[in-house]
Amino acid sequence: MSLLAACGGLGAKTAIAPYDYYRIGNVESPTPGRVRGGLMMLGGGDWPYDAFHWLFERAGNGHIVVLRASYADENQVEMYEKIGGVASVETLVFHDRKASYDPKVLAVIAHADGIWIAGGDQSNYVKDWKGTPVEEAINRHVASGKPLGGTSAGLAVQGRYVYGAMDGGSLTSKEALADSRTGAITLVEDFLRFEPLYSAGVITDTHFDARDRQARLVTMMAQLQESHPGAPLLGIGVDEQTALCIDADGNGRIFSANDGHAWLFRAGRSTLRKNAPVVAEGWRVTAAGRDSRIDTRDWSVSNPAFQSVVAIRDGRLEYTPAIPRRP
């Protein structure tokens, strides 16, 4: 009996180590609409439901698969019962890398019209998926023109370069400024390959303004600038309750429940120093808000919320002109 047939009933669960499986809705029903590609990049925190309507519509209002490495079926219940507009939601909770070789897991992912990568600890996704058939399945899903979204850790893994948090911690800007060459900046490559993020050399960051992660992102980008001279590089930090959504034509827009932004950082000059802050000059930041639009052919932003030049001098991050800050 297949996994789909074995797990009947609303909210039914089958625990099969090394993963858990949940589902809600009718997973065997036809997909109602047309499936189109797109990426949803949510910075964490409470969900802006308009962004999920965008994602679900691109999934043909069909079948969503949630991938996570902690907790249980909370996301699928919120999607199906509170947001609505999908035929079914299935959840796979990974507890071990062995799950990424399980044919039943791969069948569930292959069934997805849209994929959602939950929050948590992104190092688990790297450890459980990198170099496995699940990594291949996720990349194949996006390359085939199906949508994918993620929040917090599920956003952190979407770029070409990933802050993997592989040391078990979560680096702060204060710690990055204390040592711009700190080994706590664990950057991962050759993982998920999502266009247009991959070709632009994107590294993402999450909970961006609420957790004051600007200096952290600049320091990570400075390390990449040194290790990959001349390669494309773009930093994207997304605020909480805010989603950057990019459609199949490469057009980006912002959905936000709190007037948040997606911050686009372009590297200038930088010097890394051991046991000392990075020195950065001439970096540029452009923030996209709800009234902005992003053309990912060149990552230009029309009607930006603000623009500024960024520098780090003597361990202090400065904006010229000063940027508007929310209370």
- Residue type for 80, please? Y
CB 86, CB 57: distance < 8 Å: no
In sequence order, the 6+-apart residues with CB closer than 8 A to the CB of 216 are: 171, 172, 173, 176, 205
Distance CA 266, CA 201 (A): 11
3-320 belongs to CATH 3.40.50.880: yes
Digitized pLDDT (tens) for each residue of the chain, 327 residues in all: 234 433 433 344 554 479 999 999 999 999 999 999 999 999 999 999 999 999 999 999 999 999 999 999 999 999 999 999 999 999 999 999 999 999 999 999 999 999 999 999 999 999 999 999 999 999 999 999 999 999 999 999 999 999 999 998 899 999 999 999 999 999 999 999 999 999 999 999 999 999 999 999 999 999 999 999 999 999 999 999 999 999 999 999 999 999 999 999 999 999 999 999 999 999 999 999 999 999 999 999 999 999 999 999 999 999 999 998 876
Give the domain ranges of the chain: 3-320
Q: Which tokens hold the place of 109?
A: 């992912």
Distance CA 62, CA 64 (A): 7
Query: Taking the model in full, what pTM does it have?
Result: 0.94
